Amino acid sequence: MTSKPLLAATLAVVLSLAQPASADFKAGVAAYESGDFAKALAEWKPLADGGDPAAQYAVGLLHQYGQGVPPNPVEAVAWFAKAAEKGDANARFAIGLAHESGQGAAKDYQAAMQWYLRATETGHHAEAEYSLGRLYLRGRGVPRDAGKALEWFRKAARHDHPAAQYLLAAAYESGAGVEPDRVEAYVWYGLAARADPLLLAQYEPTFNAKLAMSTLKDRMASWEIQKAQGKLAHAVKTHLTPEPAGK
């Protein structure tokens, strides 16, 4: 499984989570959304130089992907580090991703794990939670531990991460680390299926929530289908993800 979270969302979407108050920052977001990366950089760079963590993170991402400037992962991580010092969770996650991939920082799974953990310190961070699950699942930087991997996937799934929802559904379907439960599997596949299929495939090309949901349904009893569809409809209607069975 490969996490490509920053490729799966535009810079503006990621930055909107910070809800910055600065008019200049918002002007940078508007410029970015219009494709004027040079103007976005011109708006954000003075703020970043002045110590604004959201702007520092934004400037880092522009360097990461070569938007408005030549691509420079090392420079990107330098900007992320400035924002991370001020507690920016997205910046901490980005540094972890740099260590995991070896792009812009030394490839170091233990360092990646520590940065992912730091990203979750100020509240939930679905991408960091999902990435921690991947490290435990594959035994990178820590001993392989399917149970801990599932714990982190469960947290990310509860925070609406589509790939984590898919993996949690697969665990309930197969009984890997949890009691098999086709109703729970159907619900979590259904929640994952709300995401853009192309976005979900960026995490893992084999993730196809709609197909998995349809295949599972063919093996379910009518009462299971009715119960699962009711739980899924409630979760979607109320914008709440269900608490996994047994939790």
List, for residues 169-215, the tens digit of each pLDDT value: 999 999 998 999 999 999 999 999 999 998 899 899 999 999 999 99
Could you list the residue range(s) of the whole structural domain that residue 185 is in?
161-247
How many Cβ atoms are within 10 Å of 232's Cβ, its own excluded? 21
Last residue in a domain, options 62, 95, 123: 123
Q: Which CATH number does the domain housing residue 76 bear?
A: 1.25.40.10
Cβ(138)–Cβ(144) under 8 Å? yes
Average pLDDT over residues 214-221: 97
27 domain-assigned = yes
Q: How far apart are the first and last CA of the chain?
A: 26
91 domain-assigned = yes
What pLDDT was estimated at residue 23?
A: 82
Does residue 105 share a domain with residue 49? yes
Does residue 246 share a domain with residue 184? yes
Does residue 112 share a domain with residue 52? yes
Cβ(169)–Cβ(215) under 8 Å? no
Gap between the Cα atoms of 30 and 32, Å rounded: 5
Q: Which amino acid is at 40?
A: A
Does residue 220 share a domain with residue 107? no
Average pLDDT over residues 207-232: 97
What pLDDT was estimated at residue 11?
A: 57
Total domains present in the chain: 2
Dihedral angle sign, alpha carbons of residues 130, 132, 133, 138? positive
Last residue in a domain, options 75, 106, 123: 123
Contacts 24+ apart (CB under 8 A), 230-235: 231/183, 231/187, 232/186, 232/187, 232/190, 232/191, 235/187, 235/190, 235/191
Q: How many CA atoms lie within 13 A of 17 on its CB side?
A: 18
Gap between the Cα atoms of 135 and 132, Å rounded: 5
226 domain-assigned = yes
Residue 16: pLDDT over 80 = no
Better-predicted residue by pLDDT, 3 or 86: 86
For residue 22, give Cα distances in angstroms to 7, 38, 53. Answer: 26, 19, 12
pLDDT above 90 as % of the chain: 78
Does residue 114 share a domain with residue 167? no
CB environment 1-10: b (16+ within 10 A), e (fewer): eebebbebbe
Last residue in a domain, options 61, 95, 123: 123
What pLDDT was estimated at residue 124?
A: 85
Tell me the pLDDT tens digit for each residue of 26-74. 899 889 989 999 999 999 999 999 999 999 999 999 999 999 999 999 9
230 domain-assigned = yes
Mean pLDDT across the chain: 89
Residue 8: pLDDT over 80 = no
Residue 242: pLDDT over 70 = no
Does residue 109 share a domain with residue 222? no
132 domain-assigned = no
What pLDDT was estimated at residue 241?
A: 64
Does residue 34 share a domain with residue 114? yes
Question: What pLDDT band is residue 105 in, cutting at 50, 70 and 90?
Answer: very high
142 domain-assigned = no
Q: With 0.75 as the threshold, say if the pTM is over it.
A: yes
150 domain-assigned = no
Question: What pLDDT band is residue 240 in, cutting at 50, 70 and 90?
Answer: low
Tell me the pLDDT tens digit for each residue of 128-150. 999 999 999 999 999 999 999 99
Does residue 178 share a domain with residue 112? no
112 domain-assigned = yes
Does residue 108 share a domain with residue 30? yes
Does residue 171 share a domain with residue 231? yes
Does residue 166 share a domain with residue 110? no
What pLDDT was estimated at residue 235?
A: 87
In this structure, what are the phi and psi dihedrals at residue 196, rounded to the nearest 5 degrees? -60, 125
What pLDDT was estimated at residue 18?
A: 54
Does residue 174 share a domain with residue 107? no
Gap between the Cα atoms of 160 and 236, Å rounded: 11
